[in-house]
Structure 1
């Protein structure tokens, strides 16, 4: 062994042993960036889905809200008799007389003061055919201390603008042919008729005691009896207009529940239009 004194080695940093050790810090930063980016994207997606669902639910609530008429009901109906007033302003002289026309109600629905939010089903009875169930176009006039019937007409034709409401009940022996009488107490079958304060088409799918238009005027009282026809005094009715009425009990009690089974037969409640020009 040499007598020469050994010098201590200088300190040095150890070199990396492989490539994985060299790339690890860079890879950790990349993974962290991807992870946080994914979290942010997921949060944004959740927020977007929540906002879309909120808009859809809000739109549905607005569409199906309880309103007495559909949004399009405020639009004026097309008039097929344009300029007829100019033709009949005195330049045309005619003495022709036309018989009254029968106007069948466009809709009859019930509302109940005991169930102010209830919507009564429209045409609940159906015929079973080879094509499926077909609703029966029946017209029910049901009046009780709690239930009123809402009826609406659309005035037809031109120059037939004098209208009156009519109630016709055939003989008791004909019950079940054109009309079905479920309840008729002749001593108490007295019905008040009220004109409603609306000129719009009513929507039976949303019509309730709460959403029903208010009463505007008392038109008269109808008395229901077998084999009789009762007609109220006439009133002015503009061609093409909607006329809505409420039929309620006259007095503390009444009993009336009749259903016209034939959609085009002048039985039950209907309207007559008389010539004015």
Structure 2
């Protein structure tokens, strides 16, 4: 008959007891990593938003603070190399200004603004594509034309006062003693409603002086290369510093307001 002898076990911790503190330590480490990842994701998101906002503001500020130069591709490439010239003069082109802008005469930065008007109708508010011309002791007006067509590069400016037009309200307000100076401005960049601008181009030269009481204006011809711009500024002359000429103009017939006349330049 077998006999079993029993011996008392030594006082040692079980494997389960050994694993308990290790499991707890791993749990604390995982929670710590999750908290770090959470904080890191928040910081990364905030940093991304900051950089996006900062970049957008910088790009907006650069566009707003500068006068961008728009380069339109020429549609008349190499036509100047063609030796044949037309023998019959083509008809004149009457070009209306694509934009009229106002300047405060006391503003040293020559900031530009555009006036607009609207009508109330049965369909709601209507904002027509009218142009505001205003010259006074407080305000000058900048007018820009886009020179059209190849071979029509002899131009003259025709500033007129609108006549009575039954279908269009010009809101005419003119002091007949007014005399205006016309300045040719820097034409190297385009004034456009599609690009933000803030300051007027610099004056390049005195172009002409017109007097309403003098009974007319002698056209001054100048060179107007195709696909470029002709930009003018109207101001009160020194002889009539308190002049006032104001009206609204629109493109149409009869011709009214300030417009450009282009003549053929290739006829021999």
Q: What interval of TM-score do these two structures reach, taking the shorter chain for normalisation?
A: 0.7 to 0.9
TM-score for both structures, normalised by structure 1: 0.76
TM-fit CA distance, 1:221: 1.8
Aligned mate of 2:90, from 98, 121, 135:
98
Task: Answer yes or no: is 1:219 the counterpart of 2:207.
Answer: yes
Q: 1:128 to 1:80 in 2, by over 3 A?
A: farther
Task: Answer yes or no: is 1:78 the counterpart of 2:70.
Answer: no
Name 2:141's counterpart in structure 1.
Answer: 149
Name 2:3's counterpart in structure 1.
Answer: none
Name 2:31's counterpart in structure 1.
Answer: 35
Matched residue pairs, number?
A: 251
Name 2:180's counterpart in structure 1.
Answer: 191
Name 1:200's counterpart in structure 2.
Answer: 189
Aligned mate of 2:158, from 163, 166, 184:
166
Taking the aligned partners of 2:45 and 2:112, their CA distance within structure 1 comes to 34
TM-score for both structures, normalised by structure 2: 0.78
> Are 1:199 and 1:243, in contact at CA under 8 Å, matched by a contact in 2?
no
Name 1:180's counterpart in structure 2.
Answer: 170
Taking the aligned partners of 2:106 and 2:41, their CA distance within structure 1 comes to 48
- SS for the counterpart of 2:113 is coil
Unaligned runs of 5+ in 1: 1-9
Taking the aligned partners of 2:141 and 2:66, their CA distance within structure 1 comes to 15
RMSD value over aligned CA atoms?
A: 3.2
Name 2:127's counterpart in structure 1.
Answer: 135
Name which of structure 1's ranges 95-104 and 157-166 shifts more when overlaid on structure 2.
Answer: 95-104
Name 2:49's counterpart in structure 1.
Answer: 53
TM-fit CA distance, 1:223: 3.1
Taking the aligned partners of 1:64 and 1:138, their CA distance within structure 2 comes to 28
- SS for the counterpart of 1:149 is strand
TM-fit CA distance, 1:126: 5.5
> Are 1:143 and 1:249, in contact at CA under 8 Å, matched by a contact in 2?
yes
Taking the aligned partners of 2:116 and 2:145, their CA distance within structure 1 comes to 17
Q: Which deviations, in whole Å up to 9, do the C-alpha atoms of 1:194-218 show, x marking residues without a partner? A: 122232112456433xx22211111
TM-fit CA distance, 1:122: 5.6
Q: 1:53 to 1:83 in 2, by over 3 A?
A: same
Name 2:118's counterpart in structure 1.
Answer: 125
Taking the aligned partners of 2:53 and 2:211, their CA distance within structure 1 comes to 48
Q: 1:31 to 1:121 in 2, by over 3 A?
A: farther
> What stretches of structure 1 move > 6 A for 4+ residues in a row?
none
